[in-house]
């Protein structure tokens, strides 16, 4: 951590992000990958339901209700990923040590590279859809931009969850 004094908020967030009660949910690489996959799946489902709600001609209410219900497991998965990364992206810079700060920069750089490819693919896809059907750009541009914006917002969290390292076992820590 830096020499800057931590605020009460920083100390409470640091305690929350280092709470080990949820550790069984993300103790192994496989479990973390499952949680990230569940989070991505829930995100896609919520976006699809909201997109359907906004674009359906009859404007049914059920997609919005189902999306609202899916938000609870989505928030739980977000918390599990944040716990697995020990708040790498949620804590302020002054609450991180040097290793965590370097990890944060690596995660952000990797997420930026992935997003660059996702944006390029989105542009190519929209241009191809526009070339095939003149109305496709007007119809699909807003939903595609919403999906890409959400991916841009969540990509660092997903990358951090996928690249988090296993913590040493209790007996290994005692020997060191």
Report the distance separating Cα 67 and Cα 33, nearest Å: 23
Give, as one character, the DSSP assignment of residue 6. P
Residues 143-154 as b/e (b if ≥16 CB within 10 A, e otherwise) read bbeebbeebeeb
Give the confidence band of 176 by pLDDT, cuts at 50, 70, 90.
low
For the cut 90, the answer to whether the pLDDT of residue 48 exceeds it is yes
Give the lowest-confidence range in 21-25, 91-95, 130-134, 156-160.
Answer: 130-134
Report the distance separating Cα 81 and Cα 155, nearest Å: 12
What's residue 19's pLDDT?
A: 87
Which of 42, 154, 25, 43 has its CA nearest to residue 83? Answer: 25
For the cut 60, the answer to whether the pLDDT of residue 24 exceeds it is yes
Give the lowest-confidence range in 45-49, 58-62, 90-94.
Answer: 58-62
Share of the chain above pLDDT 90, in %: 61
pTM of the complete model: 0.85
Which of 83, 88, 89 has its CA nearest to residue 22? Answer: 83
Give the confidence band of 158 by pLDDT, cuts at 50, 70, 90.
very high
Average pLDDT over residues 43-72: 91
Give, as one character, the DSSP assignment of residue 21. G
């Amino acid at each position: 951590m830096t020499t800057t004094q931590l605020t009460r908020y920083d100390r409470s967030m640091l305690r929350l992000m280092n709470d080990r009660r949820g550790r069984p949910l993300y103790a192994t690489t496989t479990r973390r990958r499952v949680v990230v996959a569940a989070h991505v799946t829930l995100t896609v489902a919520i976006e699809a339901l909201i997109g359907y709600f906004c674009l359906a001609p009859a404007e049914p209410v059920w997609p919005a209700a189902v999306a609202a219900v899916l938000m609870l497991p989505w928030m739980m998965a977000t918390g599990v990923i944040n716990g697995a990364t020990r708040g790498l992206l949620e804590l302020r810079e002054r609450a991180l040590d040097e290793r965590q700060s370097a990890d944060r920069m690596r995660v952000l750089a990797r997420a930026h590279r992935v997003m660059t490819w996702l944006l390029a693919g989105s542009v190519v896809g929209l241009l191809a859809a526009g070339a095939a059907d003149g109305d496709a750009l007007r119809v699909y541009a807003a939903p595609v931009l919403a999906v890409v914006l959400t991916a841009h917002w969540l990509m660092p969290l997903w990358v951090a969850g996928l690249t988090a390292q296993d913590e040493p076992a209790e007996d290994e820590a005692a020997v060191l």
